[in-house]
Structure 1
Amino acid sequence: MTARCPHCGGSTDANAIVRRGKWSLGPSLTYFDGEQIALPRAQARVLYAIARANGEPVTHRDLPGMAASTLVNHIRALGRTFGDRMPVRILRNTGIVWDASA
Structure 2
Amino acid sequence: ADTSRTAALLAARLGVPVVPAHASAATPTVPDAVRALTARGHRRIALASCFTAPGRFATQCAAAAPWIASAPLGTHPSMARLLLHRYDETLMTDGALKRRALATS
Structure with the greater relative contact order (CA < 8 A, sep ≥ 6): 1 or 2?
Answer: 1
Structure with the larger strand share: 1
TM-score, normalised to structure 2, is 0.31
TM-score, normalised to structure 1, is 0.32
